Amino acid sequence: MKIDRRNFLTLGGSLVAGGVVGTTLSPLPWKLMDDAAIWTQNWSWTPVPTDGKVSYENTVCTLCPGRCGISVRKVASRAIKIEGRKDFPVNKGGICILGLSGLQLLYGPTRVKTPLMKTGNGTFKTISWDEAIESVSAKLNELRSSGKSDSVAFLSDSDQGVTAGLIKRFLKAYGSPNFISEATFKDAYKLALKKMQGIDAEANFDIDNADYVLSFGSGIIEGWESPVRMIKANSALKTRKAKLCQIEPRLSMTAAKADKWLPVVPGTEKELALALIHVILKKSLYNKDFVARNTVGLDKLTQLTDSFSPEKVSGITGIKPEDIMALAADFARASHPIAICGKGQGNTPESMTQIMAVHTLNTLVGNINKKGGVFTVSLPDYVTWDQPEMDETGTTGNSKDRIDGAGKGQYKDTMSLAHRLAGIVNAQGKNPVEALFVSGSNPLYTFTDSIAVKKAFEKIPFIVSFSSFMDETAKMASIILPNHTNLERFEDVIVSTEAGKSAIGLAKPVVDPRFDTKPTGDALILIAKALEGSVAEAFSWESFEACLEETLGDKWEELKENGFLENADSAIASNNKIDFSALTDNGLAAIEGDTANFPLTLIPYDSLRLAHMNIGSPPFLIKTVEDTVLKGNDILVEINPKTAGKLNLSEGKYAKLKTPKGTVNVKVHLFEGIMPGVIAMARGLGHTAYDDYLAGKGVNFNELIGPVEDPASGLDISWGIRANLTKA
């Protein structure tokens, strides 16, 4: 047969056809398909868990003030899971979503990997630790030698523990009174105890054993105090058939799970508390024996609350007089009642009147330092170093006034007024802050009126950030000295547990540091050693770890081994009487904005699914946020359908939200669970820093409000602002 084109195609076709049939009947394609699937799992870039020995290492989570014990599961040297530690007194095996996501902070892309220095064009360049310490100490030496040591300020998220102790010591030796720490409602409560009873004590709320909880807006299951401990305590309330009454303008998760929810006009919680005192006194429902033995000033209290009759207060708060009377009776007649305050997660202070009214309620029912009540606890104080030797510059610098005005005059008991920083720097005249150090804090995001804070930071010539992450504040820094993350460093913490007990906890490294970072304590010691004058002498420690070991003394080994050490005698047995006359009222809380231009009240709400303090939410958290809170990149503002109807707003539509501080675009979410006339939005969104999972999503609530000072404490008690919402 002659092979021509036609034959070639025919025969070639039959060969191929035979091949296809044969191949189909052979295992080749099927086996290859299976193998190809497995092959794709073995690509070098496919994430595969490390193979190796499995181990668990215990530490303490320091991502929020809750301080849970955690157990980190590791395979070889990689941390792969964070679990709650079962034998830890705070969380007893539980863990919250932020703690659980801690690995995304450790291994995520937002870490600052080496010391960085800002260049002329606004970008950062990598520098070595030696260069970084040299630059910082040169600046500090320059300021010190020109007599401006008090122009250095240090902003810290906490004033407890060895790192904060080192910062305070550093400033003292250097010659600056400006150690500024952020305050929460707990700090305000501490201040109230000082004013009412003259004691230095922290309040510990034993929800775990109470049988009636009267909560003035505290998000018991939304991260208030210690999130895991409180969620467990709330479950225990249900098991014990104890009652929870939630007073707040919005149906929060806590309100939804409460036995009773009383929506109150925002900002009038203290009037309600005073009315409850009024009823308890008028009806003689208080614990007379306890009050007689432990208090003074009952007559003053009667006088003060005389005008807060349920009828009158009903008009202010929107709660019916009979409800106020029933509430007072329920509270006073319970055997272990407790009143608590601190809105949402309690990360912002409350007014002295509010806190003292709450403490007065607890005192009237005699539930102080008793199971199920408020314990006044003396926290373990182990940072007991000798005072540093001071040279002349140091002494002169320390004798100057603090820039924030705390610690003297009417605010003599207030430690810090951090919110004033922006106002002071932005004020006309000379900027008093030449250098600002920021540790564990992200003021550009967390401070109210964050736009003004940014403006202030632009004016401060030298900013040093110790952040582990490239957050909003770190982006503004002249130099970043990155701290290890919480899973890479030692950190001593103080934890509160049930029934007024407390303990020292020690967070310890569970993985080797991933990058060229150093604990802030180490960086401080290095800077101090490079300084002139008496500063170096005040820092004789070799390293932060050596300092911790020396400071904790005989507790160190046990802490390293166990992770915590219970504090045997924490409840304060003070003979000081509780003075009711400390409770004064300054009238209705004013918030910024006039009712004509801003007919609505904007309040924030907190959620366990969004971190809103110094830590940015890792991707796990953002993924759990409902689309009634954040849809795409748009934040939703909750509004009652009745109010929305009047304003011609409808579900899911864009709207313009305007407050005296700024205007933003939002979407509308109709929610029956919010009082008419009030609108609410989530805190924790609107970051401009961090990764793509967080940056650019929603609006930062703090941009829309400004600080509101409590006349009694000076603290920023801003809880909302007047606002207007119009169709976009």
Partner 1 sequence: MSASDDNVKDVPSDNHEEGHGNGSIGFVILFFVVGLIGSLLTGWVLFPKLLYSQKEQPIDFNHQIHMDAVSDGCESCHFFREDGSFSGVPTIAQCIECHEEAQTEDPNEIKLVQEYIANGEEVPWLVYARQPDCVFFSHAAHKEMDCTTCHGDIGHSENLKTYEENRLTGYSRDIWGHNIGGFKKNTWDRMKMDDCAECHERETGSKGPCFQCHK
Give least dist CB 79 to partner 1, A. 18
Q: For residue 388, give the DSSP letter.
A: P
Q: Is 55 in the site for partner 1 (CB under 8 A)?
A: no
- Compute the chain's Rg from CA coordinates: 29
Q: What is the Cα–Cα distance from 581 to 295, expressed in whole angstroms? A: 10
Identify which of residues 14 and 663 has a Cβ nearer to partner 1 in the complex: 14
Identify which of residues 45 and 429 has a Cβ nearer to partner 1 in the complex: 45
Burial call 180-193: b when 16+ CB within 10 Å, e when fewer:
bbbbbbbbbbbbbb
Give least dist CB 33 to partner 1, A. 11
Q: Which residue has the tokens 């009454």?
A: 245
Identify the helix (H) or strand (E) that includes residue 135: helix 129-145
Q: Is 31 in the site for partner 1 (CB under 8 A)?
A: yes
Identify which of residues 34 and 87 has a Cβ nearer to partner 1 in the complex: 34
The residue within the footprint of partner 1, chosen from 26, 399, 586, 633 (CB under 8 A), is 26
Quick one: which segment of 17-25, 259-267, 315-323, 700-708 binds partner 1 (CB under 8 A)? 17-25
The residue within the footprint of partner 1, chosen from 44, 49, 412, 590 (CB under 8 A), is 49
| Residue 523 C-alpha from the chain's centroid | 24
Q: Is 21 in the site for partner 1 (CB under 8 A)?
A: yes
Q: Which residue has the tokens 């110790």?
A: 466
The residue within the footprint of partner 1, chosen from 9, 18, 584, 642 (CB under 8 A), is 18
The residue within the footprint of partner 1, chosen from 11, 80, 256, 427 (CB under 8 A), is 11
Identify which of residues 15 and 138 has a Cβ nearer to partner 1 in the complex: 15
**Number of shown-chain residues binding partner 1 (CB under 8 A):** 34
Q: Is 52 in the site for partner 1 (CB under 8 A)?
A: no
Q: Are 618 and 104 in contact (CB under 8 A)?
A: yes
Q: Is 34 in the site for partner 1 (CB under 8 A)?
A: yes
Give least dist CB 77 to partner 1, A. 18
Give least dist CB 437 to partner 1, A. 46
The residue within the footprint of partner 1, chosen from 7, 597, 650, 726 (CB under 8 A), is 7
Give least dist CB 101 to partner 1, A. 19
Quick one: which segment of 12-20, 262-270, 291-299, 546-554 binds partner 1 (CB under 8 A)? 12-20
Identify the helix (H) or strand (E) that includes residue 620: helix 619-623
* CA-based nearest residue to 79, from 511, 399, 386: 511
What are the distances in angstroms from CA 187 to CA 160, 200, 237, 720? 11, 11, 26, 20
Q: What is the Cα–Cα distance from 344 to 215, expressed in whole angstroms? A: 10
Q: Is 38 in the site for partner 1 (CB under 8 A)?
A: yes
Q: Is 20 in the site for partner 1 (CB under 8 A)?
A: yes
* CA-based nearest residue to 295, from 81, 37, 598, 575: 575
* CA-based nearest residue to 493, from 200, 165, 245, 151: 165
Identify which of residues 5 and 430 has a Cβ nearer to partner 1 in the complex: 5
Residue 609 sits at φ, ψ, to 5 deg, of -85, -5
Identify which of residues 55 and 145 has a Cβ nearer to partner 1 in the complex: 55
- Three-state SS for 91? coil
Q: Is 80 in the site for partner 1 (CB under 8 A)?
A: no
Quick one: which segment of 11-19, 258-266, 372-380, 409-417 binds partner 1 (CB under 8 A)? 11-19
Q: Are strands 502-507 and 564-567 parallel, antiparallel or unpaired?
A: antiparallel
The residue within the footprint of partner 1, chosen from 1, 292, 568, 573 (CB under 8 A), is 1
Q: Is 590 in the site for partner 1 (CB under 8 A)?
A: no
Q: Is 25 in the site for partner 1 (CB under 8 A)?
A: yes
Q: Are 485 and 500 in contact (CB under 8 A)?
A: no
Identify the helix (H) or strand (E) that includes residue 139: helix 129-145
Identify which of residues 35 and 306 has a Cβ nearer to partner 1 in the complex: 35
Give least dist CB 85 to partner 1, A. 17
Identify which of residues 54 and 573 has a Cβ nearer to partner 1 in the complex: 54
Give least dist CB 115 to partner 1, A. 38
Residue 128 sits at φ, ψ, to 5 deg, of -85, 165
Identify which of residues 36 and 596 has a Cβ nearer to partner 1 in the complex: 36
Q: What is the Cα–Cα distance from 111 to 483, expressed in whole angstroms? A: 10
List Cβ<8 Å contacts ≥24 apart for 286-293.
Answer: 286/332, 286/364, 286/365, 286/366, 287/364, 287/365, 287/366, 289/366, 290/363, 290/366, 290/368, 291/363, 291/364, 291/366
Give least dist CB 88 to partner 1, A. 20
Identify which of residues 7 and 410 has a Cβ nearer to partner 1 in the complex: 7
Length of the chain (residues) = 728
Give least dist CB 8 to partner 1, A. 11
Q: Is 22 in the site for partner 1 (CB under 8 A)?
A: yes
The residue within the footprint of partner 1, chosen from 9, 16, 80, 256 (CB under 8 A), is 16
Q: Is 5 in the site for partner 1 (CB under 8 A)?
A: no
Contacts of 495 (CB under 8 A, 6+ apart): 60, 67, 89, 90, 226, 502, 503, 504, 505, 564
Identify which of residues 19 and 652 has a Cβ nearer to partner 1 in the complex: 19
Residues 200 to 229 in contact with partner 1, rule: CB under 8 A: none
Q: What is the Cα–Cα distance from 414 to 396, expressed in whole angstroms? A: 22
Identify which of residues 50 and 633 has a Cβ nearer to partner 1 in the complex: 50
Give least dist CB 56 to partner 1, A. 10
Which amino acid, 418?
A: A
End-to-end CA distance of the chain: 83
Which amino acid, 632?
A: G
Identify which of residues 42 and 284 has a Cβ nearer to partner 1 in the complex: 42
Q: Are 388 and 176 in contact (CB under 8 A)?
A: no
Burial class (CB in 10 A: 0-12, 13-18, 19+), 587: exposed
Q: What is the Cα–Cα distance from 164 to 186, expressed in whole angstroms? A: 17
Quick one: which segment of 6-14, 213-221, 435-443, 686-694 binds partner 1 (CB under 8 A)? 6-14
The residue within the footprint of partner 1, chosen from 12, 461, 645, 696 (CB under 8 A), is 12
Burial call 375-402: b when 16+ CB within 10 Å, e when fewer:
bbbbbbebbeeeebebbebbeebbeeeb
Give least dist CB 21 to partner 1, A. 6
Q: Is 33 in the site for partner 1 (CB under 8 A)?
A: no
The pair of structure tokens assigned to 147 is 């007599």
Identify which of residues 20 and 138 has a Cβ nearer to partner 1 in the complex: 20
Residues 518-547, mask of contacts with partner 1 (x by CB under 8 A): ------------------------------
The residue within the footprint of partner 1, chosen from 9, 19, 303, 540 (CB under 8 A), is 19
Identify which of residues 36 and 292 has a Cβ nearer to partner 1 in the complex: 36
The residue within the footprint of partner 1, chosen from 9, 35, 315, 455 (CB under 8 A), is 35
What does the binding site for partner 1 look like in residue numbers (CB under 8 A)? Answer: 1-2, 6-7, 10-12, 14-23, 25-28, 30-32, 34-36, 38-39, 41-42, 48-49, 54
